[in-house]
Amino acid sequence: MNDVIIFAVISLSLVGVAAAVILYFVAQKFKVIEDPKIDEVEEALPAANCGGCGFPGCRGFAEALVKSANENNSIEGFNCPVGGNDTMAATAGILGLIAEEKEPQIAVIRCSGSRENAPKKINYDGPATCAFAHNLSSGESGCPYGCLGCGDCVIACAFDAIYMDEVTGLPVVKDNCVACGACVVACPRDIIELRNKGKKDRRIFVSCINEEKGGPAKKNCAVACIGCSKCFKVCPFEAITMSNNRAYIDYEKCKLCRKCVVECPTHAIHELNFPPRKEKKVVAEKPVEKAVEKPAEQSEPKAEKE
């Protein structure tokens, strides 16, 4: 009886040792040499795996970073929008480089065609996703550029940073947006744009991408950009460009002076997170009356917005 046990133990041990030796040599032969820095960099990344950097997940980004650092000795052009500058600085530290500072960005919804501003004219009863609605119809308000309101962007967001406003029927971006760009891709009408967060989270943008002429645009939506160029003329920093009957504000050039916001006859230009404009009343006098009137109207929908 004992013999059987001893024999079994010894033979199994021998098999184990032999296997270990074989495995050792096989492992040596087929060894994959991987830069240990990849693991370190991956540790430093936020592990959101959102793809906002343009690479498949954080591991892919880490590999690309290390490769670029080894080959070009720089990590220029790489950015993790989720982690922001802190994360990039940390990864750069691991790689012994210096990361360039990048303005943090946030998604903005460039449409104000709420149920009130752009009333429903057409009844769309197809499947409730924007991708379908865009293929099948020009939108319930009749605006072929406006938000379809089916919430593809909300589904695309992995950070729960965007939600549909029940009252306006438009998506709203929350402050925890990391600018990964998933919603930008999901929107079939290219309404969402990534813009610099701006100082103290203050930003100004044209909340309309309608390329129709003024008349038809205004017919469908009360707050459409009608391409009147008033903002373009008033802007002292040449930040506004006019093309295809619509204005666009370059966020790099914009100094947040808010002159265009006052000038816009359709309130298509939005300002976010600015203090109330009352202080200005004391400084200037003539343009103020106009200026006060408009923001008073305008601040309401904005309060809803963010």
Partner 1 sequence: MSILKTFKIGGVHPPENKFSAGEAIKVLELPKQVIIPIAQSLGAPSKAIVAKGDEVKVGQLIAKGEAFISSNIHSSVSGKVLKLDDVMDQSGYRRPCIVINVESDEWEESIDRSEDLKAEITASKEEIIKKVQEMGVVGLGGATFPSHVKLMVPAGKKAEVLVLNGVECEPYLTADHRLMLEKADEMLVGIQILMKGLEVDRAVIGIENNKADAIAHLTQKVINYPGIEVVALKVQYPQGGEKQLIDAALGRQVPSGKLPIEVGAVVNNVGTAFAVYEAVQKNKPLIDRVVTITGKNLSATGNYIVRIGTSVNELIEKAGGLPENTGKVVSGGPMMGKALNKTDVPVVKGTSGVLVFEEDEAKRVEPSNCIRCAKCITVCPMGLEPVLIAQYAESELYENVEAEKAMDCIECGSCQYTCPAARPLLDYIRLGKFRVGQLIRNRSKK
Q: Which residues bind partner 1 (CB under 8 A)?
A: 121-122, 125-127, 131-132, 135-138, 142, 144, 212-213, 216
Helices H, strands E: what count in the chain? Answer: 12, 8
56 vs 126, beta carbon nearer partner 1: 126
**CB of residue 132 to partner 1, shortest distance in Å:** 5
**CB of residue 146 to partner 1, shortest distance in Å:** 12
- What DSSP string runs through 197-220? --GGG-EEEE-----S-HHHHHHH
Which residues are within 8 A (CB) of 288 and not within 5 positions of it... i.e. 6 or more apart? 280, 281
28 vs 243, beta carbon nearer partner 1: 243
Angle at 285 between CA 279 and CA 290, to 5 degrees: 85
54 vs 127, beta carbon nearer partner 1: 127
69 vs 133, beta carbon nearer partner 1: 133
Which residues are within 8 A (CB) of 222 and not within 5 positions of it... i.e. 6 or more apart? 116, 117, 118, 266
H or E stretch including 269?
Answer: strand 269-272
**CB of residue 88 to partner 1, shortest distance in Å:** 30
Six token digits for residue 273: 């997170």
240 in Cβ contact with 212 (< 8 Å): no
**CB of residue 31 to partner 1, shortest distance in Å:** 34
**CB of residue 216 to partner 1, shortest distance in Å:** 7
22 vs 136, beta carbon nearer partner 1: 136
35 vs 211, beta carbon nearer partner 1: 211
Distant-in-sequence contacts of 283-286, Cβ < 8 A, 24+ apart: none
